[in-house]
Amino acid sequence: MELPKEYDYNAIEEKWLNTWQDSMFYFDWNSKKPQFIIDTPPPYPTGNFHIGNALNWCYIDFVARYKRMRGFNVMFPEGWDCHGLPTEVKVEELNGITKSQVSREEFRQMCVDLTTKNIERMRKSLRRLGFSIDWSNEYITMDPSYFGKTQASFVKMYERGNIYQQNHPVNWCPRCETAIAFAEVEYDARDTVLNFLNFDKLQIATTRPELLAACVAVAVNPDDERYSKYVNTEVKVPVFGHAVKVIADKSVDPTFGTGVVMICTFGDKQDVRWWVEHKLPLRKAIDKTGKMTGIAGKYAGMSTDECKKAIIEDMKTAGILYKQEKLDQNVGACWRCKTPIEILSERQWFVKIVAEDILKTANEVTWVPDYMKVRLENWTGTMEWDWCISRQRIFATPIPAWYCAECGKTKVAKEEWLPLDPTQKAPPEACECGSTKFRGEEDVLDTWMDSSISALHVSGWLSDKPLLLPAQLRPQGYDIIRTWAFYTILRSKSLLDKKPWDTILLNGMVLGEDGHKMSKSRNNFIVPEEVVKKNGADAFRQWAAIGGTTGSDIIFSWKDVVAGSRFLQKLWSIVRFSMPHISDKPASFTPVDLWLLSKLNRLVKECTEKMDDYQFDETFKAIRGFAWDILADNYIELAKSRLYGDGEGKRAAQYTLYVTIDTLSRLLAPFLPYFSEEVYSHLKKESVHQVLWPQVDESLIDADAEATGELIKDITAAIRRYKSEHGMALNSELKGIEIYSSLTDASDIAGAANSEVKLKTGTPDFETVPTVLKPNMKVLGKMYRSRAKPIAEALLNADPKLAASGSIELTIDNEKITLDNSSFTVEKERHLKGKAVDVLEVGSAVIVITRK
Ligand SMILES: [Zn+2]
Ligand SMILES: [Zn+2]
């Protein structure tokens, strides 16, 4: 069957999509093969598979397919990280409600419905991109089968004392009305104003005068002599009039502002440190919605911004505020809505962070690229408080706990009661006080509590399957090192005292074509589906493969995608040409076959090493270089005449092509699942995705064979150049080509040159014969002016042998003129056995072409 000329990616990709069975990629829990479990990132089900996700999934799929072909029992699960604020916000938007207008259960159901719909859409994209996902190991974090495990992990850690409840300052988003973790706070430089206030006997400087009502102390540096006499005295807070102590603390910078600062509960993290160290009282001036509380007096009920404006005006009028200066300040904001965060002290649930454990475990994991580990180490070093895991939201894993209505004691669920929602279900046993009346915990868990046990979940934790932790690979973006990587290490260590994975592979971010972060407002936003529609999944995957190295940011480029399509067409043309010629019957190879096979085995070796190191770009570039430059542009051109001919040489070329296309299909299989499957289907019955990665045949890697092949290739190229320089058609025949070299087989040179070729050894015995004296008009013109022309004519007509001494004597108008060799050039030609020849030198070989 002849293959069509054009590679129709659309038809072919659709065909295989409908042919492949999910079971081809199932993990076998009872397999004897070495395991390779991938702890894939569960994406947030927004309904759209983001291009950054798609890049990450390409990397995962390259690894999964490669490892399968290397004989591993691979699990490439697909998770969905469902819970969280973005879905709540979307549900409110789509239904035109706020979460408080419907019951908790109703609201939760709306979130579940939206998420279910979105997951369905995203599954389609994942399939279309050709990812070899193990759908038998799909997990959905909002399903009780998964969140029951999140709850079990909570209970286990609570029972071991790794989770506790406490009144402690936490980062709080007043717009989202929930506590958030440090990892969810984004710091941004903002312009602010430093206000100088007369503060009783002192002067202080503050950026947050609206917190004056929450002032609990004033601090100075103990070495600052200006203020030592005030330490341990009391001062009165302006406007509000309550008295606070002056304390000495080394961390006050005497050069900032006036050298006196006020401590409020809480302006920033430093306030929290001082508050703990000096055991200061708590004054809450801001409530959970970001409004001023009753202690703010006339400002109560105002937003913090309104209060700030009003109190500044009032203090200016009263002469309290005497100076203002501009200041650059890093302000923490909510990751989700960018509202500046507040620090509020509330009763929350916390997970203990043991920095040494995390650092030690991180060291047991291989980091690719290794410099990324520093990010985790730095982050671990900055953690000051434990991880606040309670959120005041709805769509999340419920915290399995109740409060006794009689004595107020907290009751945490037993593992065997799970999964459950404490707002729906009472505990099956009474409180220690005997009461059976409980209030269910309404706080829910941080979504990272769900996703940070993904490695445990996919490795069989709390199931009827064997526990196969650690997983082998965690692929993820570097942007979530401080969250997902950090929390997973923490939880795996805390729950099972094990590292979660052997290796973590970090991928970069995808930037728009303009080099900026992709965003709808910048108009540089690309969705993977659009690329697939225009150029096919295999072209998209090629961009992912060669776009950059793992760990670095990658610019999306239509040019690379189009180049990917072009490469597919080029490969297709090679295959289309080869198909009628190939044969799986071995025959004895010619030097050109051996050259190709040596290069091919070298390629297999290189690809294997680079795939083991996750260097997808290098691997793919090597394959492309081989297919394009070596196979298409050279081997096929050289072997063509044998393929069209007959005999042993033909059979050798047929077999060489067979081996090469078979090997190339398998090398390409991880990158181009559709294309490689299509090509392989013309060779063999089984799927290329169920065969092994090619083996290196070391015996075929041969430097001599490569040198010989290169020489043949270069000689052929030189003969082609010769023809084109002489205005001859490339298939025109040359008479009498003799090659002086160590070559023993010239069949492919003869074939490619369409001429008879004689092989000779040694060096040709040339005779050099002068043919003509070419006048140098520049010199002649200068010396002889008007006589230059006749002199030049005489030179051209003279017997060139007369100039053997280097000069020549001519007679012009009866006058004898002697010209030295600056006036002319002696043109020579080479003769071999009395015939004029052209000589091409290629490396150590000499090619002699007899002139007609
Ligand atoms: Zn927020
Ligand atoms: Zn009780």
Cα 143 to the chain's mean position, in Å? 30
Average pLDDT, the chain: 94
Biggest CA-to-CA distance, the chain: 143
Q: Give 405 Cα–ligand 2 centroid separation in angstroms.
A: 7
First-residue to last-residue Cα distance in the chain: 45
| Percent of the chain's residues with pLDDT above 70 | 100
Q: Give 398 Cα–ligand 2 centroid separation in angstroms.
A: 21
Query: What pLDDT digit, counting tens, does each position of 636-688 carry?
Result: 999 999 999 888 999 999 999 999 999 999 999 999 999 999 999 999 999 99
pLDDT at 57 over 80: yes
Phi, then psi, of 417 in degrees rounded to 5: -85, -10
Closest ligand to residue 435's CA: 2
Q: Give 178 Cα–ligand 1 centroid separation in angstroms.
A: 8
Query: Is the Cβ–Cβ distance between 455 and 492 less than 8 Å?
Result: yes
Q: Give 140 Cα–ligand 1 centroid separation in angstroms.
A: 25
Torsion over CA of 423, 429, 431 and 435, rounded to 10 degrees?
90
Q: What is the pLDDT of residue 522?
A: 81
Q: Kindly report each contact of residues 98-101 with a partner whose C-beta sits within 8 Å and lies 24 or more positions away, as own/partner.
A: 99/394
Q: Give 336 Cα–ligand 1 centroid separation in angstroms.
A: 5
Closest ligand to residue 392's CA: 1
Cα 826 to the chain's mean position, in Å? 64
* pLDDT tier, 1 (very low <50, low <70, confident <90, very high otherwise): low
Closest ligand to residue 342's CA: 1
User: Which of helix, strand or coil describes residue 461?
Assistant: coil
Q: What is the pLDDT of residue 475?
A: 97
Q: Give 407 Cα–ligand 2 centroid separation in angstroms.
A: 4
Query: What pLDDT digit, counting tens, does each position of 373-395 carry?
Result: 999 999 998 888 899 999 999 99
Q: Provide the token pair at 501.
A: 């994975």
The whole-number average pLDDT for the span 468-497 is 96
Closest ligand to residue 403's CA: 2
Q: Of 75, 77, 86, which is closest to residue 118 (Cα–Cα)?
A: 86
Strand 401-404, strand 501-507: pairing: unpaired
What is the rounded distance in angstroms from the CA atom of residue 365 to the CA atom of residue 194? 46
Q: Give 307 Cα–ligand 1 centroid separation in angstroms.
A: 20
Q: Give 418 Cα–ligand 2 centroid separation in angstroms.
A: 21
Phi, then psi, of 349 in degrees rounded to 5: -95, 140
Q: Give 179 Cα–ligand 1 centroid separation in angstroms.
A: 9
Closest ligand to residue 438's CA: 2
* pLDDT tier, 847 (very low <50, low <70, confident <90, very high otherwise): very high
What is the rounded distance in angstroms from the CA atom of residue 461 to the CA atom of residue 474? 17
Q: What is the pTM of this model?
A: 0.88
Closest ligand to residue 173's CA: 1
Q: Give 377 Cα–ligand 1 centroid separation in angstroms.
A: 27
Closest ligand to residue 430's CA: 2
Q: Give 284 Cα–ligand 2 centroid separation in angstroms.
A: 29
pLDDT at 61 over 70: yes
Q: Give 408 Cα–ligand 2 centroid separation in angstroms.
A: 6
* pLDDT tier, 852 (very low <50, low <70, confident <90, very high otherwise): low
pLDDT at 523 over 90: no
Q: Give 180 Cα–ligand 1 centroid separation in angstroms.
A: 9
What is the rounded distance in angstroms from the CA atom of residue 307 to the CA atom of residue 299? 6
What is the rounded distance in angstroms from the CA atom of residue 91 to the CA atom of residue 479? 27
What is the rounded distance in angstroms from the CA atom of residue 196 to the CA atom of residue 775? 94
Q: Provide the token pair at 811.
A: 């007679």
pLDDT at 814 over 90: no
Quickly list DSSP for 382-437. Answer: H--S-EE-EES-SSSPBP-EEEETTT--EEEPPGGG-S--TTT---SS--TTS---
The whole-number average pLDDT for the span 460-482 is 96
| Percent of the chain's residues with pLDDT above 90 | 81
Query: Is the Cβ–Cβ distance between 106 and 91 less than 8 Å?
Result: no
Q: Give 54 Cα–ligand 1 centroid separation in angstroms.
A: 27
Q: Give 397 Cα–ligand 2 centroid separation in angstroms.
A: 25
CB proximity list for 287: less than 8 A, separation 6 or greater: 293
Q: Give 429 Cα–ligand 2 centroid separation in angstroms.
A: 11
Say which amino acid occupies 110.
Answer: M
Partners of 543 in beta bridges: none
Q: What is the pLDDT of residue 188?
A: 87
Q: Give 286 Cα–ligand 1 centroid separation in angstroms.
A: 16
Extended strands (E) in 38-128: 73-75, 79-80
The CA radius of gyration of the chain, in Å to the nearest whole number, is 40
Q: Give 452 Cα–ligand 1 centroid separation in angstroms.
A: 22
What is the rounded distance in angstroms from the CA atom of residue 346 to the CA atom of residue 165? 10
Phi, then psi, of 252 in degrees rounded to 5: -80, 130
- Whole-number Cα distances in Å, 195 to 203, 258, 284, 350: 10, 10, 21, 36
Say which amino acid occupies 406.
Answer: E
Quickly list DSSP for 762-786. Answer: S----EEEEEEEEE-HHHHHHHHGG
User: Of how many residues is the chain composed?
Assistant: 852
Supply the DSSP symbol for 350.
E
Extended strands (E) in 18-134: 35-37, 73-75, 79-80
Supply the DSSP symbol for 683.
T
Closest ligand to residue 171's CA: 1
Closest ligand to residue 433's CA: 2
Q: Give 729 Cα–ligand 1 centroid separation in angstroms.
A: 74
Closest ligand to residue 405's CA: 2
Closest ligand to residue 334's CA: 1
Phi, then psi, of 810 in degrees rounded to 5: -125, 155
Q: What angle do CA 670, 675, 678 make, to 5 degrees?
A: 115
Query: Is the Cβ–Cβ distance between 676 and 662 less than 8 Å?
Result: no
What is the rounded distance in angstroms from the CA atom of residue 292 to the CA atom of residue 302? 5
Torsion over CA of 631, 634, 637 and 641, rounded to 10 degrees?
-90
What is the rounded distance in angstroms from the CA atom of residue 683 to the CA atom of residue 413? 60
The whole-number average pLDDT for the span 290-294 is 95
Q: Give 440 Cα–ligand 2 centroid separation in angstroms.
A: 13
* pLDDT tier, 176 (very low <50, low <70, confident <90, very high otherwise): confident
The whole-number average pLDDT for the span 494-504 is 98
Say which amino acid occupies 154.
Answer: F
Q: Give 411 Cα–ligand 2 centroid separation in angstroms.
A: 9
Q: Give 310 Cα–ligand 1 centroid separation in angstroms.
A: 25
CB atoms within 10 A of CB 379: 17
Q: Give 321 Cα–ligand 1 centroid separation in angstroms.
A: 32
pLDDT at 606 over 80: yes
Q: Provide the token pair at 67.
A: 């490892």
User: Which of helix, strand or coil describes residue 555?
Assistant: strand
No. of helices (H) and no. of strands (E), the chain: 24, 33
Strand 366-368, strand 501-507: pairing: parallel
